[in-house]
């Protein structure tokens, strides 16, 4: 009953007119910045933080949180429509989402993303309300060895992201990991692969890689011949998911939500793993494996749900322990402080209105997002009818502006050209960019946690096997590797066919 009282308190706070209004402003802005690659939620929250200084604390946090999960929502739109993902989770959505768009099924893809996100958001909000404090305690059991094993498992399951050869996918993962090592080593401060360029000290920016490898490379490929080019503007079949679609997305949405909610709790990068772990799972258990990568609606439903559930539960460490799991959360810690609330375990007892109000507002935000996004689908789909002579330069323009706005660094814009060309060459070689991108995102996490675990243990590697959670994850990783690679080697001849299309 205490839960009901708490939720009642939460909703009575979140439903105050100014809170609903700023929740809407937050999710609207979030959707807007999510749609554009580059100006991500972190930059937006940073810019708007000073404005919220004059708000009530709960109102300020409701709006800032809205920007964050709104952006997760909006991020899928450009990924589906024009293969331009702004962050790693959207890159997974682009795999099948953009294929669906090319087949004239952008509407169902967008609708699935919105519906999946809503269901995931709702369930994750309930999870937050019921079990936030104990979940946060469990998450603290994850130290460097556990994160290392988790990320390793994640890297191996990401082989499933490729529709072609598992060996090539593995090669792409390694290439991504290598690209991820560029920049200053955090342990020794040694600059690696920077070639004297200060701009590279902080590493290559993810958005540059994603926009180049997906967006620009896609355009280059489309310019090749008339036939593939027209594919982008092919006939729009239907706007809404068919009955068959609806039947197919239920399972992926629920499984994605569970996975995402669980991974999102882990402050050391669990939310990064959510969407593609879900993709890998769906592909593995699907009876239609061959459809994945060619417009399988499950490949949109699962990852999108997982991503949104994770976005929601990643607030757990912040709200219950005051520990930020993401740069946006770190900004919210700043917002707490400015409003005179010391982030930490006491927030839940000292400021129950704020804690429960914020949780309730997340559900309201999810409702607002669905109301906002579903009617927009028709408009987005119409965008695909723009002739390519206009659409392609526009994509390049937006990609450049977005990338430049990241750090006002021309270097990042040059990088999209480079990665566009690299992406094109790789596609021509039958290598897919998605595993590379995930290697790029997870590589630094893998290295950081491996080295940290070794430092803490003074070089004793047995810790990975003696800590139970880590040992279990490593065993799963080994199993996943065997499952992924063995049939690939056996069926090599078949693969040769599926690679070039």
Partner 1 sequence: MRTSSRYRATARMIATIGVVSLIAACSGNGGGGNADAGGGGYPDDNITIVVPFSAGGPTDTVTRMIAEPMAAKLGGKIVVQNVEGAGGTVGAGEVARAEPDGYTVLMHHIGMSTAPALYKDLGYQPLESFETVGLVTEVPMTVVARKDFAPATLKDLVAHVKANAGKVTLANAGIGAASHLCGLLFQTAAGVKLQEVPYEGTGPALTDLVGGQVDFMCDQTTNTSGQISAGEVKAYAVTTPERVKSLPDLPTTAEAGLPGLEVSVWHGLYVPKGTPQDVVQKLSEALKAALADQKVIDQMAKLGTAPVPAESATPQAHRTKLEEQLGTWGKVIADAGVKAS
Range 121-180, binding partner 1 (CB under 8 A): 140-144
Tally Cβ neighbours within 10 Å of residue 244.
9
Looking at the Cβ atoms of 9 and 338, the one nearer to partner 1 is: 338
57-116: which residues touch partner 1 (CB under 8 A)?
none
Read off the tokens for 158: 């990401």
Q: How far is the CB of 233 from partner 1 (least distance, A)?
A: 27
Looking at the Cβ atoms of 251 and 327, the one nearer to partner 1 is: 327
Q: How far is the CB of 270 from partner 1 (least distance, A)?
A: 12
Mask 257-296, x = binds partner 1 (CB under 8 A)?
----------xx----------------------------
Binds partner 1 by CB under 8 A, chosen from 42, 88, 93, 222: 42
Looking at the Cβ atoms of 232 and 415, the one nearer to partner 1 is: 415
Give the span between the Cα atoms of 357 and 362, in whole angstroms.
Answer: 9
206 scored as a contact of partner 1 (CB under 8 A): no
320-379: which residues touch partner 1 (CB under 8 A)?
321-325, 327, 329-335, 337-338, 340, 342-346
Binds partner 1 by CB under 8 A, chosen from 2, 4, 17, 190: 190
Give the span between the Cα atoms of 86 and 35, in whole angstroms.
Answer: 8
Looking at the Cβ atoms of 112 and 313, the one nearer to partner 1 is: 313
Radius of gyration in angstroms for the set of CA atoms belonging to the chain, rounded to a whole number:
22
Q: How far is the CB of 326 from partner 1 (least distance, A)?
A: 9
Tally Cβ neighbours within 10 Å of residue 224.
11
**Which region among 51-59, 241-249, 306-314, 469-477 touches partner 1 (by CB under 8 A)?**
51-59
**Which region among 49-57, 249-257, 305-313, 359-367 touches partner 1 (by CB under 8 A)?**
49-57
Looking at the Cβ atoms of 14 and 325, the one nearer to partner 1 is: 325
Q: Spell out the alpha helix ranges (H) of 233-375.
A: 243-264, 270-285, 298-313, 315-321, 327-338, 347-350, 352-373
Q: How far is the CB of 189 from partner 1 (least distance, A)?
A: 4
Give the span between the Cα atoms of 10 and 451, in whole angstroms.
Answer: 42
Token pair 């499952």 is found at: 483
**Which region among 5-13, 168-176, 187-195, 225-233 touches partner 1 (by CB under 8 A)?**
187-195
**Which region among 74-82, 379-387, 405-413, 475-483 touches partner 1 (by CB under 8 A)?**
405-413
Looking at the Cβ atoms of 198 and 243, the one nearer to partner 1 is: 198
Q: Each residue of 370-382: b (16+ CB within 10 Å) or e?
A: bebbbeebeebbe
Q: Spell out the alpha helix ranges (H) of 38-140.
A: 41-48, 57-82, 88-102, 106-139
Read off the tokens for 270: 């669990």
Contact 98, 287 (CB under 8 A): no
Give the span between the Cα atoms of 33 and 27, in whole angstroms.
Answer: 10
Q: How far is the CB of 340 from partner 1 (least distance, A)?
A: 5
Q: How far is the CB of 314 from partner 1 (least distance, A)?
A: 12
| The CA-based dihedral angle spanning residues 271, 199, 75, 499, taken in that order and rounded to the nearest 10 degrees | -90
Cα–chain-centroid distance for residue 468? 28
DSSP 294: S
Looking at the Cβ atoms of 185 and 494, the one nearer to partner 1 is: 185
CA dihedral sign, ordered 146, 151, 152, 153: positive
Give the span between the Cα atoms of 293 and 483, in whole angstroms.
Answer: 19
407-446: which residues touch partner 1 (CB under 8 A)?
407-411
Q: How far is the CB of 383 from partner 1 (least distance, A)?
A: 18
| C-alpha distances out from residue 206 to 111, 281, 327, Å | 27, 25, 14
- Residues in binding contact with partner 1, number by CB under 8 A: 73
Give the span between the Cα atoms of 396 and 208, in whole angstroms.
Answer: 12
Give the span between the Cα atoms of 135 and 446, in whole angstroms.
Answer: 23
Q: How far is the CB of 232 from partner 1 (least distance, A)?
A: 26
187 scored as a contact of partner 1 (CB under 8 A): yes
Q: How far is the CB of 325 from partner 1 (least distance, A)?
A: 8
Binds partner 1 by CB under 8 A, chosen from 287, 458, 493, 501: 458
7-26: which residues touch partner 1 (CB under 8 A)?
21-22, 25
């Amino acid at each position: 009953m205490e839960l009901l009282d708490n939720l009642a308190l939460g909703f009575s706070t979140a439903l105050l007119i100014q809170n609903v209004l700023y929740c809407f402003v937050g999710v609207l802005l979030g959707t807007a910045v999510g749609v554009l690659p580059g100006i991500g939620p972190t930059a937006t929250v940073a810019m708007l933080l000073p404005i919220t200084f004059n708000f009530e604390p709960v109102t300020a946090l409701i709006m800032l949180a809205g920007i964050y999960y709104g952006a997760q929502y909006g991020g899928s739109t450009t990924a589906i429509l024009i293969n331009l993902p702004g962050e790693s989770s959207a890159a997974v959505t682009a795999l099948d989402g953009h294929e669906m768009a090319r087949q004239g099924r952008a509407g169902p893809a967008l609708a699935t993303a919105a519906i999946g996100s809503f269901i995931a958001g709702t369930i994750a909000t309930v999870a937050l309300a019921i079990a936030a404090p104990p979940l946060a305690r469990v998450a603290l059991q994850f130290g460097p060895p556990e994160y290392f094993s988790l990320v390793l498992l994640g890297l191996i399951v990401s082989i499933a992201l490729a529709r072609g050869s598992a060996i090539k996918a593995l090669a792409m993962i390694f290439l991504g990991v290598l690209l991820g090592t560029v920049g200053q080593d955090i342990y020794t401060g040694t600059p690696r692969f920077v070639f004297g360029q200060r701009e590279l000290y902080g590493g290559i920016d993810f958005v540059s890689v994603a926009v180049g490898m997906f967006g620009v490379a896609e355009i280059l490929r489309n310019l090749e011949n008339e036939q593939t080019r027209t594919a982008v503007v092919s006939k729009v079949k239907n706007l809404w998911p068919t009955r068959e679609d609806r039947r197919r997305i239920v399972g992926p949405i629920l499984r994605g939500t569970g996975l995402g909610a669980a991974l999102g709790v882990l402050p050391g990068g669990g939310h990064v793993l959510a969407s593609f772990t879900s993709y890998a799972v769906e592909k593995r258990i699907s009876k239609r494996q061959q459809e994945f990568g060619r417009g399988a609606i499950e490949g949109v439903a699962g990852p999108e749900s997982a991503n949104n559930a994770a976005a929601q539960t990643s607030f757990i460490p912040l709200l219950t322990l005051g520990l930020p799991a993401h740069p946006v959360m770190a900004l919210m810690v700043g917002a707490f402080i400015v409003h005179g609330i010391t982030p930490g375990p006491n927030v839940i007892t000292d400021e129950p209105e704020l804690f429960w109000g914020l949780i309730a507002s997340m559900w309201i935000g999810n409702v607002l997002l669905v109301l906002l996004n579903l009617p927009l689908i028709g408009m987005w789909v119409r965008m695909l009818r723009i002739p390519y002579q206009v659409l392609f330069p526009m994509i390049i323009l937006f990609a450049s502006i977005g990338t430049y706005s990241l750090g006002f660094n021309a270097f990042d814009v040059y990088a999209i050209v480079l990665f566009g060309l690299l992406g094109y060459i790789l596609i021509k070689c039958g290598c897919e960019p998605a595993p590379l991108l995930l290697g790029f995102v997870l590589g630094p996490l893998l290295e950081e946690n491996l080295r940290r675990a070794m430092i803490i243990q003074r070089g004793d590697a047995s810790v990975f096997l003696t800590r139970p959670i880590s040992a279990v994850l490593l065993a799963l990783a080994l199993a996943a590797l065997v499952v992924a690679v063995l049939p690939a080697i056996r069926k090599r001849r078949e693969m040769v066919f599926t690679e070039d299309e």
